[in-house]
């Protein structure tokens, strides 16, 4: 069986983002992978118990998901609420779902405090970006799942082609 892909629910057009929106990734590969049964859809924030809509959240103090997993960083809402526990629980649930479905790859929305893999926001709610991963992306990477941002879909396509050719 070809490698399965864990994919952010918002990229599949589901209105699960903090503001109730989606951010569909329109690419022929998505439709093909869906037909092939390769996609496993997840929203780590919903898996962590959050509602839609919800206050925006960022990893505080210019830290990243790795530091949140290590117990050093925190995830805070714009309203000041500490939602670290829900983000960690959502990451662990996403990891469980990936393992249950034998996902070797993840295609996640960049910038999210959960799913960002290339960048997250710095915790100031000013739009300032910081290189690094969100909590779920960091968790998946730690457990050997190759994580790709939505902007890196061509890299994932190439990786899958190599893996499929190797059988």
Instruction: Tell me the C-alpha distance between 67 and 64, whole Å.
Output: 5
Q: Give the residue among 53, 57, 48 at the shortest CA–CA distance from 18.
A: 53
Convert the pLDDT of each residue in 107-134 to its tens digit.
Answer: 999 999 999 999 999 999 999 999 999 9
List, for residues 15-51, the tens digit of each pLDDT value: 999 999 999 999 999 999 999 999 999 999 999 999 9
Count of residues for the chain? 167
């Amino acid at each position: 069986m070809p490698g399965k892909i864990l994919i952010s629910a918002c990229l599949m057009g589901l209105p699960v983002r903090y503001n109730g929106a989606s951010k569909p990734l329109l690419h022929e590969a998505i439709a093909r992978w869906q037909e092939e049964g390769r996609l496993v859809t997840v929203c780590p924030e919903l898996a962590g118990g959050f509602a839609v809509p919800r206050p925006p959240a960022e990893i505080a103090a210019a830290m990243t998901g790795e530091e949140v997993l290590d117990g050093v960083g925190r995830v805070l809402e714009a309203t000041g609420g500490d939602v670290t526990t829900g983000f960690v629980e959502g990451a662990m649930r996403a990891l469980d779902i990936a393992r249950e479905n034998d996902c070797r790859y993840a295609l996640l929305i960049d910038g999210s405090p959960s799913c960002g893999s290339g960048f997250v926001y710095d915790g100031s709610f000013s739009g300032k970006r910081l290189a690094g991963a969100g909590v779920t992306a960091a968790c998946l990477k730690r457990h050997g799942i190759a994580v790709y941002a939505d902007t890196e879909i061509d890299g994932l396509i190439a990786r899958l082609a190599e893996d499929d050719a190797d059988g």
